[in-house]
C-alpha cells in the first residue's frame, strides 16, 4: 500500500538536518520511498492508495525514549519526595514484589498510550515479565527494545535465564529487539557482571545499565573498588560490547574520556534526576567529547510521565544552567537527542530516527496552527520550548497511523483505566 503525506513542513533530522518547507513523503507499506519538496511529476506517476494532507503542519521523526521502566506507570507519584535509596528500598521494591504478569501488561498498555499521544514511537525499557510487556507492545503497535533487569538481590540465576530466553524468543520479531540489562554497580556483583557480559558477547547484544546516577553510588563504588562506576565497568570489559549508560549524572572528566573512547551511549534523564535530586549531568561536555547522548524519561514513578516533549524542554533549560551558557544544548541538538541519537543508542538507527528514503515510516505530525506554535517561524525552538504533547496530531509507526487527533486506534481507554486503577489499588 502506498501513502502520500503532502503539504508538510518536514524536519528530517538526517545527517544534514534537511528541512523541506513545502514537502511530501511517500511511504510504500512501512518504508519511506521518497522525502523532499513536493514533486508533482512523482505524484502523477505514483499509484497512491491514501493521501494525508498535512495542511502545513510539521512532520518529524517519532521520538525515541532511550531509558524507561514502562510498567512503572502503576507507581506514578508513589513514594514521591524520597531520595533514590529510600524510594527504591522502602517503596518501589516492596510494591514490585506484588506485581503479577497482568499488572505488567496493563501498566505497559497505559504507558504506551501516553507515548502514542505524546509522539514517542520507539522506546528502550528495563524491567521484567518481558512476555507480558511484549503482549501489550504487539497489541498497541509500538516499536521497542526490551531488557530484562538482572541483579543479584533476590536471585541472579533465574533472572539471567529469563534474559537469555527473551533473546532467543524475540530474535525474529519485527518490532521488538532485546538487550541485556544488569541493573547497576550497586546491585550486581563482579562475577554476575562478568556472566552477563559473556551472554552479551555470545548473542551479540548490547548492554543497558544505570550508571553514576547518584553521588552515593559513585562514592560507594570508589570505596569498594577504588574507581568510579565507569572506570570499574571499563576494567571489567563491559564497554567491549555496545553499551547504553542511563543517567551519567556524576561522571568525571576521565569517565567522559573513557566513554568517548569506548563509544558508550549516554542517556540523559533530566526530569527524573531533578525529581530525585540526583543532580544535573554534564551533557554538553559529553557531546563535545563526541559521546552519543540520547534522551529518556526514566520510569513514571520518578518522573510521573513518559512525555518526551517535556523531557526535551527540561533538558534544554537545565543544560544551559549547568554550563552558564545560553548557547548550550540548543533546540537542534535536543531534537537530535530525542530522535536519531536515541535510535543510535538502541541500535535501530538504520531503521528509524530520521525521515529518509529506505527507513521505516515512524513519524509524527505537529500542529503548526496551535497558539503554542506561533509565530510560524523558529519552529525548532517552538518544538523544544513551547509545543508539547497537546500539539501531536498524528503518530505513525511502520507506516500505520496509530493515533490521530488524540484518538488511539483500537483502544478502549475507559476499560483500561478501570483495569489500571484496580491494579494500583492492590499494589500501593
Average pLDDT in the 81-94 region? 85
The per-residue pLDDT for range 252-295, each reduced to its tens digit, is: 999 999 999 999 999 999 999 999 899 999 999 999 999 999 99
User: Do residues 47 and 157 share a domain?
Assistant: no
CATH classification at residue 113: 3.20.20.140
Examine residue 421 and state whether it is found in any structural domain, yes or no. no
Q: Among 300, 326, 346, which residue terminates a domain? A: 346
User: Do residues 47 and 131 share a domain?
Assistant: no
CATH classification at residue 390: 2.30.40.10
CA distances to 88, 92, 283 from 83, rounded to whole Å, are: 9, 12, 22
Give the pLDDT band of residue 84 (cuts 50, 70, 90).
confident
Examine residue 18 and state whether it is found in any structural domain, yes or no. yes
Total length of the chain? 428
User: Do residues 196 and 338 share a domain?
Assistant: yes
User: Do residues 319 and 372 share a domain?
Assistant: no
Across the strands, what pairs with 19?
11
Examine residue 39 and state whether it is found in any structural domain, yes or no. yes
Examine residue 416 and state whether it is found in any structural domain, yes or no. no
| Whole-structure pTM value | 0.97
User: Do residues 287 and 386 share a domain?
Assistant: no
Give the pLDDT band of residue 209 (cuts 50, 70, 90).
very high
Domain range spanning residue 81? 63-346
User: Do residues 379 and 334 share a domain?
Assistant: no
Least confident of 50-59, 230-239, 410-419: 410-419
pLDDT of residue 242: 98
Number of structural domains found in the chain: 2
- Percent share of the chain, pLDDT over 70: 100
d(CA 412, CA 141): 15
Average pLDDT in the 364-380 region? 95
Across the strands, what pairs with 316?
none
229-236 and 215-225 helices, crossing angle to 10°: 50
pLDDT of residue 46 exceeding 80, the answer is no
The per-residue pLDDT for range 232-256, each reduced to its tens digit, is: 999 999 999 999 999 999 999 999 9
The per-residue pLDDT for range 155-164, each reduced to its tens digit, is: 999 999 999 9
- The C-alpha angle 355, 358, 359, rounded to 5 degrees, equals 45
pLDDT of residue 154: 82
User: Do residues 57 and 72 share a domain?
Assistant: no
Amino acid at each position: 500500500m502506498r501513502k502520500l503525506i503532502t503539504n508538510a513542513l518536514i524536519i528530517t533530522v538526517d545527517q544534514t538536518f534537511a528541512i523541506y518547507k513545502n514537502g511530501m513523503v511517500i511511504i510504500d507499506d512501512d518504508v519511506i520511498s521518497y522525502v523532499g519538496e513536493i514533486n508533482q511529476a512523482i505524484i502523477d506517476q505514483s499509484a497512491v492508495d491514501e493521501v494525508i494532507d498535512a495542511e502545513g503542519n510539521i512532520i518529524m521523526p517519532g521520538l525515541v525514549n532511550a531509558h524507561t521502566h514502562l510498567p512503572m506507570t502503576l507507581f506514578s507519584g508513589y513514594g514521591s519526595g524520597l531520595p533514590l535509596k529510600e524510594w527504591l528500598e522502602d517503596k518501589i521494591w516492596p510494591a514490585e514484589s506484588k506485581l503479577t504478569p497482568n499488572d505488567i501488561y496493563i501498566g505497559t498498555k497505559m504507558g504506551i498510550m501516553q507515548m502514542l499521544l505524546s509522539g514517542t514511537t520507539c522506546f528502550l525499557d528495563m524491567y521484567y515479565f518481558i512476555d507480558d510487556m511484549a503482549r501489550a507492545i504487539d497489541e498497541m503497535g509500538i516499536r521497542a527494545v526490551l531488557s530484562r533487569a538482572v541483579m543479584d538481590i533476590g536471585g541472579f540465576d533465574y533472572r539471567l535465564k529469563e534474559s537469555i530466553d527473551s533473546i532467543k524468543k524475540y530474535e525474529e520479531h519485527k518490532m521488538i529487539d532485546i538487550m541485556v540489562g544488569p541493573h547497576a554497580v550497586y546491585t550486581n556483583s563482579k562475577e554476575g557482571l562478568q556472566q552477563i557480559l559473556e551472554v552479551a558477547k555470545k548473542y551479540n547484544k548490547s548492554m543497558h545499565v544505570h550508571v553514576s546516577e547518584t553521588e552515593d553510588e559513585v562514592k560507594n563504588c570508589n570505596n569498594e573498588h577504588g574507581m568510579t562506576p565507569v572506570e570499574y565497568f571499563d576494567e571489567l570489559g563491559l564497554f567491549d560490547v555496545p553499551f547504553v549508560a542511563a543517567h551519567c549524572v556524576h561522571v568525571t572528566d576521565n569517565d567522559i574520556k573513557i566513554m568517548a573512547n569506548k563509544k558508550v551511549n549516554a542517556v540523559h534523564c533530566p526530569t527524573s534526576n531533578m525529581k530525585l535530586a540526583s543532580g544535573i549531568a554534564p551533557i554538553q561536555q559529553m557531546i563535545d567529547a563526541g559521546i552519543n547522548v540520547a534522551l529518556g524519561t526514566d520510569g513514571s514513578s520518578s518522573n510521573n510521565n513518559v512525555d518526551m516533549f517535556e523531557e526535551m524542554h527540561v533538558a534544554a533549560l537545565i543544560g544551559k544552567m549547568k554550563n552558564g551558557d545560553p548557547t548550550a544544548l540548543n533546540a537542534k541538538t535536543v531534537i537530535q537527542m530525542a530522535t536519531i541519537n536515541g535510535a543510535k543508542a538502541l541500535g535501530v538507527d538504520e531503521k528509524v530516527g530520521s525521515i529518509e528514503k529506505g527507513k521505516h515510516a515512524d513519524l509524527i505530525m505537529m500542529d503548526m496552527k496551535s497558539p503554542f506554535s506561533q509565530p510560524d517561524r523558529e519552529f525548532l525552538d517552538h518544538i523544544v520550548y513551547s509545543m508539547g504533547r497537546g500539539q501531536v496530531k498524528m503518530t505513525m509507526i511502520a507506516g500505520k497511523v496509530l493515533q490521530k487527533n488524540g484518538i488511539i486506534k483500537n483502544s478502549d481507554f475507559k476499560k483500561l483505566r478501570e483495569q489500571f486503577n484496580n491494579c494500583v489499588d492492590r499494589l500501593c
